[in-house]
Amino acid sequence: MDNVGLISTVSIITAGLTISIGSLAPALGESKALTQALSSIAQQPDEAGAISRTLYVGLAMIESVAIYCFVVSLILIFANPFWTRVSAAL
- Spans of all domains in the chain: 3-80
Q: What are the Cα distances from residue 14, in Å, to 3, 47, 85?
A: 16, 44, 18
**Burial grade of 15 (CB within 10 A; 0-12, 13-18, 19 or more):** buried
Q: Which amino acid is at 11?
A: S
Residues 14-63 pLDDT 10s: 999 999 999 999 999 999 999 999 999 999 999 999 999 999 999 999 99
- Using pLDDT thresholds of 50, 70 and 90, give the confidence band for residue 7: confident
pLDDT at residue 26, as a whole number: 93
Mean pLDDT for the stretch of residues 57-84: 90
CATH number at 3-80:
1.20.20.10
